[in-house]
Every structure is written in C-alpha cells, then in structure tokens.
Structure 1
Amino acid sequence: MNSMTAEDLLLHLRMMPSQERARFFALVGQQAFRDENLSHEEVLGHLAGDEFTSKEAAEYLEVSMPTFRRLVASGKLASSSEVGRSQLYAVPALKAFKRQRQAVKG
C-alpha cells in the first residue's frame, strides 16, 4: 500500500479547485464531529500544554483583535511567554478566562 505524507496531502489540497477543496473540508468536518456531544477536552484536549499567538487566542476567545488587545492592556489576560516580539498565551489560562466570561454572561 502506498501511503501519503501530510506534506503530500497538503500539496494535493492546494492543487484542488477551490469548490472541491471546500467540499472536502465540509465532509471532513461532518465526519469528525458527527457526535455533537463531544466535550471540550475531546475536541481540544491535545492543546492543553500549547500556547496560542495573539490572533489564535482572540479566535479561541471569539473576540476581535482590538478587544483582545484591550483585555491584555487591562491586565485581564497575560502572556505566558515571548518569542522575539511575539507574545504567546497559555491554552489553560485562555480556557479558564473563556469559562469565566461565559459564566458571567449566563
């Protein structure tokens, strides 16, 4: 059996017509999340020790970049490390912050 590497798959996906690529990812999404009762841990548990960039953190928190910057400037969020000029944010801290915001919203 001839197996394909992730790099090969990415190359093939890039060469697909955009409509077919969109259809492919829709099918992947449907298959991956068939069971709508997945827990947060089941979907994102593998990220528990990771760090997100500012953009990724804002997307995870479902806020705009200006709102994210305000949260950082006000001290409500703090970076866990820096790489060059980029700040990284620990996933567990973002998860706790998101839960807290959701509890306040009701």
Structure 2
Amino acid sequence: MRQITAEDVYLSFIGLPVNERARFFAMLAEPVAQTQNFSHEQVFGHLAGARFTAHEAAEYLGVSIATFRRYVAHGKLRAKEEVGRSQLFATEELKLFKRALQEVRKPRAVSAA
C-alpha cells in the first residue's frame, strides 16, 4: 500500500476551492489558537506578493462579485496586471481597501445632545 506524502497532500490542497482552503486553516488553528498568538505576517506573509483573481478578491473583502466589480468600475480598486481577459489584484492594495471598508462599517458612537 502506497503511503501519502507531503507532496500528495499539497497537490490536493491547492486543488481545493478558496473557501475550503480557508476552512482547512481554521481547522488547523483551533487547537493551537488557545496556546499561541500568531501575527498577521506569520499567517499570511507568504501572500505578500500574491495576486488575487476578481472572485478571490471579492471573497477576501467579504463582498459579492457584483459589488467588487462596481468598486473596480468606479476606480476604487485597480487591477495590478491582466492575463488574457482576467484581472489580477495585488494583496497589499486589497488589504488596505479591506481596512478602509472595516472603518466605514464600524458602528459610530452617538453623542448625547
């Protein structure tokens, strides 16, 4: 019987849809999360130079693809490069935009008048 190798696992992993990959990391992190705190850089540092497709970028931002396309159409986000008809978006720009979205979505304190 053939033993599964790390390469087999990796090749299976990269074939998973993005949401399943995220679920996998969440499952791995559960037992470790109580004992260790990882920085954003430690967890996502390998993505620093990565490019996201429109669908991956929309998922990362937590918006629908239609909303994401509106952001692009209105110049709020720009593709870093184009490959054929596909647009690819830079991780750093998406990260900054996500922070801006979170600031807008924060409930604002109402002052007593």
Task: Give the TM-score normalised by structure 2.
Answer: 0.67
Superposed displacement of residue 41, structure 1: 1.9
Deviations 1:47-72 (A, max 9, x none): 01111000110111011111111111
Q: Does 1:48 align with 2:19?
A: no
Q: Does 1:4 align with 2:17?
A: no
Q: Which amino acid aligns with 2:74?
A: S
Q: Which runs of 5+ in 1 are unaligned?
A: 14-24
Q: Percent identity?
A: 52
| SS of residue paired to 2:88 | strand
| SS of residue paired to 1:44 | helix
Q: Which runs of 5+ in 2 are unaligned?
A: 14-23, 107-113
Q: More relative contact order in 1 or in 2 (CA 8 Å, sep 6+)?
A: 1
2:79 maps to what in 1?
Answer: 79
Structure-2 change in CA distance of 1:72 and 1:12 (3 Å): closer
Structure-2 change in CA distance of 1:67 and 1:28 (3 Å): same
Distance 1:101 1:27 in 2: 27
Q: Does 1:61 align with 2:61?
A: yes
Matched positions, count? 93
Structure-2 change in CA distance of 1:67 and 1:41 (3 Å): same
Superposed displacement of residue 100, structure 1: 1.1
1:18 maps to what in 2?
Answer: none
1:38 maps to what in 2?
Answer: 38
Structure-2 change in CA distance of 1:36 and 1:79 (3 Å): farther
Deviations 1:24-83 (A, max 9, x none): x47534246455743322221110111100011011101111111111111111100001
Instruction: Quote the RMSD (CA, aligned, Å).
Output: 2.8
Superposed displacement of residue 4, structure 1: 1.4
- Within a 5 Å distance, the mapping from 1:90-105 to structure 2 comes to 90-105=90-105
